[in-house]
Amino acid sequence: MTNELKQPKYYVNRELSWLAFNDRVLEEARDTQNPLLERAKFLAITQKNMDEWFMVRVASLQQQVLVGHNNPDASGLLPNDQLSMISSAAREQIKNQYQVLNRSIIPALKKQGFELKHADNLADSQYAFLKRFFEEELLPVLTPMAVDSTRPFPFLANDTLNIGVRLKHETDKSEKYTAVLQVPTTSGRVIALPEKNQVILVEEVVQIFLDAVFPGYDIKETTVFHILRDMELDVADDEDTPNILQEVQSKLQERERGRVIRVIVNTNTSKTLMSKIIKALDVSDERVYEVNGAIDLTFLSAWLKLIDAPYLEFSKFKGYESSELSPDNMFVSIKQQDYLLHHPYDTFKPVVTFIQTAACDDDVLAIKMVLYRVSGNSPIIRALADAAQRGKQVTVLVEIKARFDEENNVHWARELEQKGVHVVYGLRGLKVHAKMALVVRREDDAIVRYVHLATGNYNDVTANFYTDLGLLTRDSELGMDVSSIFNILTGYSDQEYFHQLHMSPDGIREFIYDKIDGEIANANAGKSAGIKMKFNSLSDEQMIRHLYKASQAGVPIKLLVRGITMLKVNIPGVSDTITVHSIVGRFLEHSRIYSFNNDDNPEVYLSSADLMTRNLDRRVELLFPLKDTALRQRVLSIFQTMWQDNVKTRVLQSDGHFEKIDRRGLSTMNAQEIFIAESLSVQADVKRQEKSAQAQRKFEPINNPFLGGEA
């Protein structure tokens, strides 16, 4: 039966599944139930998502074709076939993006008084303002680059906007000149006009006054185009390049010059100019995408920063912060019980406070952390540096191969090293994606370990809009396991046994297999069985086969998958008992939950790992149990609330597409809004209790001093 489950008809192509996910994000931009500015943000996110997908996934497929790698994927498609299919699907999605932009977002913003102006509808005063702006701010930094026999087509950097120009000299009868110039980024993408809430794109300003750049020439045509290059970072795994930091820095420079993998150009561009650009960039027609509107929709993010209209956004929300995890109470509280944090409904501040408190605590001897992604002005980085300068042993593994965060992480690694922190620059051949922190403290002449384990990164900014789960604990077995893992990461250690943790690349896959097999055995024995999992992506073929086998045994399987899923549902005799939900809403669902019924004695695990081959086989990941019964129940309750969501949930259908739930006759259930309401309710209760306590202290009678009592 295992060979039977390998049939391509049982799997969805990974890239088509990713495009389907981005379509779900695009649906949020269309959804008029979302506030207008949030819809614009969703549209900008679809552009950013797609750019990264092209730079990595599409680039990877093109590399496979170039080197002659011709193996089919799980769905039976060869690399060339995949490129053809996803090119068509991406083209359709890009067309839909611009329909949302032109027919919905821009008209709605204009109706609210926020207008994107163009050259043909500027007032005289605006034209004069922009002329001065161009001469003072833009002209000095513009670099026109002629293209002719003596000056070849210039190198254009990745992710840049450029202007192609057709010119004719005043003395010539026919045009024969071409030039290119990069749109400057020094003044920002969106230029605010003097009139309130009116803006114009910087590339339009350049085009309006381009005559000043080419005196003596007539400009026949201009067009804006955007290019993306292959940005996959391939760090070699050999003895000839022992300094991984220098190698990553070198690769960062190299990849800026990678092959062009996509060109976006305006649909009004003439064939003459377009053919010159395409030929010069050495791209095929399949890599050129024409759009009707402003190139590169991430301009929306820049525009939104200039709009002050909170009534057009989600209402402000700040998560619950327990006083038990304040600096004064941190270690005492964790000593008494484990704490589960559900971000952003629980604020991320206690995690930051955990490190800050450890840095200042005289009884703390050492701090060890893994940093995969941190914010640009990270308070955790500052706390670690402070701890080192106070004489504590501070060790940090900075994963400098974290995709698109490489430069930021290289910067922080250098910064920490200068402050006296012992920095490990990742591992050769493996990305370290685990999220863990260890604080070693002396208490009553004993050495104890405090641990933070999580599903998400130590990024205090993204923690406000990523949903993640984290555990603060003093559990001795987990503490010993985390210590052992740091010894593996920073030294030489062949740890063969962990008390509670499971670590990839060698342990998580096998552990989940065992747990699935346990549910299969229970189902076959007539016992209660069930699997509930939540993660970002499911693309590991072997794991899908294990889930298929569980379904064949009759195990009910509920999967909450935000992004990719190569699994198919409702295949008779293969996946009848599998249901897949996907939630795309206000917050990005990032937490990973793995739960097994265990004959009505549920076991619950949290992890940094998704069910993707790279996470299970090529990354250092952690999976850890929730040992406390109350915390297990809380996570199961979180899962159930999300499963009952009927507002932001899409359900995977037999044909591979996702459909929203028909809510007719149902009470509205928006899981993220429910969690917000619960958090606000707890915060309100705490405030009432504090107010009541203050009132009680204010009116508490004092003893009569004349009777000898205390005043």
The residues carrying an active-site annotation are 433
Residue 674 gets which letter from DSSP? H
C-alpha distances (whole Å) from 90 to each of 38, 75, 289, 609 are 23, 19, 9, 28
Please state whether beta strands 177-182 and 578-583 pair in parallel, antiparallel, or not at all (unpaired). Answer: unpaired
Query: Which tokens is 35 given?
Result: 């506030």
Q: Return the beta strands (E) in 523-646 as ranges.
A: 531-535, 557-561, 578-583, 588-589, 593-596, 603-607, 619-625
Residue 312 C-beta-side C-alpha neighbours within 13 Å: 19
Please state whether beta strands 603-607 and 619-625 pair in parallel, antiparallel, or not at all (unpaired). Answer: antiparallel
Cβ atoms 260, 227 nearer than 8 A: yes
Long-range (24+ apart) CB contacts under 8 A made by 2-8 are 2/545, 2/549, 5/545, 5/548, 5/549, 5/574, 6/541, 6/545, 8/72, 8/74, 8/75, 8/76, 8/77
Nearest CA to 535 out of 480, 477, 490, 594 is that of: 594
Cβ atoms 190, 306 nearer than 8 A: yes
Cβ atoms 420, 393 nearer than 8 A: no
Report which secondary-structure segment, H or E, holds 288.
Answer: strand 288-291
Q: Return the beta strands (E) in 351-445 as ranges.
A: 364-371, 393-398, 422-424, 431-432, 436-443
| SS3 state of residue 32 | coil
Sign of CA dihedral 7, 9, 13, 14: negative
Sign of CA dihedral 424, 428, 433, 434: negative
